[in-house]
Chains A and B, each alone.
Chain A
Amino acid sequence: RKEVEQDPGPFNVPEGATVAFNCTYSNSASQSFFWYRQDCRKEPKLLMSVYSSGNEDGRFTAQLNRASQYISLLIRDSKLSDSATYLCVVNSGGRRALTFGSGTRLQVQP
């Protein structure tokens, strides 16, 4: 079983739509959680951290359910510029590197 699992998509949505991505992780000792965005042939860039209380940044809302080991990302009012691959990322703590999910591809269409 992969340490971080995501639906690869692609999710094809019209502009203005609301779209949700889900992610599950297997290591219950994981301590930090993130969503990264990766554009084609580019490096990943941090979109937002994910906190147990849930957090919002503009059109983006992230939530964490530790009991279910489940992370979500909600994008409201999708823009064409939101088209990218969204990576669910987990840090198991200490000096370890990040563990990446395989990513969910989003394509927002006009």
Chain B
Amino acid sequence: GAVVSQHPSWVICKSGTSVKIECRSLDFQATTMFWYRQFPKQSLMLMATSNEGSKATYEQGVEKDKFLINHASLTLSTLTVTSAHPEDSSFYICSARVTVLHSSYNEQFFGPGTRLTVL
């Protein structure tokens, strides 16, 4: 299947700092990427939908000024957690969707995730 990478795979930072997470589709172009967050023993929760060349669409309850998303190219989306606090500590996972024109094929491929710990 298609490959999606994330960097970094884990990060530990001090409270108040900003952390940038990159999501790349390695062998395909993705006009749409998604950012999820997963707390321990809970399901993946969609944070935002990242569209290449336009503003991201945020889910209810997700602060767009705190979680900055940039999708500058068809293979790269970034999530920046600004002024991180301990409650932002979580597993952040991106996914990229492969779509085929005139087809219902619509599979998402997930990055390996980034584990953020804010002290």
Residues on A facing B (Cβ under 8 Å): 32, 41-46, 87, 91, 95-103
Given known pairs A87-B43, A102-B43, the reply for A97 and B49 (CB within 8 Å) is: yes
In the bound complex, residues from chain A placing their C-beta under 8 Å from that of B1 are 46
In the bound complex, do residue B108 and residue A98 qualify as a contact, i.e. CB atoms below 8 Å apart? yes
Bound-state Cα–Cα, A100 to B45, Å: 7
Q: How large is the interface on B (under 10, 10 to 19, 20 to 34, 35 or more residues)?
A: 20 to 34
In the bound complex, residues from chain A placing their C-beta under 8 Å from that of B78 are none
Scoring B residues 9 to 36 as 1 if CB is less than 8 Å from chain A, else 0, what string do you get?
0000000000000000000000010101
In the bound complex, residues from chain A placing their C-beta under 8 Å from that of B104 are 32
In the bound complex, residues from chain B placing their C-beta under 8 Å from that of A43 are 93, 110-113
In the bound complex, do residue A100 and residue B112 qualify as a contact, i.e. CB atoms below 8 Å apart? no
Bound-state Cα–Cα, A42 to B112, Å: 6
In the bound complex, do residue A41 and residue B44 qualify as a contact, i.e. CB atoms below 8 Å apart? no
A53 CB to closest chain B CB (Å) equals 15
In the bound complex, residues from chain A placing their C-beta under 8 Å from that of B112 are 42-43
Pick the contact of B44 from A42, A95, A100 — CB < 8 Å? A100
Bound-state Cα–Cα, A44 to B91, Å: 12
In the bound complex, do residue B42 and residue A95 qualify as a contact, i.e. CB atoms below 8 Å apart? no
- Chain A: which residue is nearest B31 at the CB level? A95
B103 on the A face (CB < 8 A): no
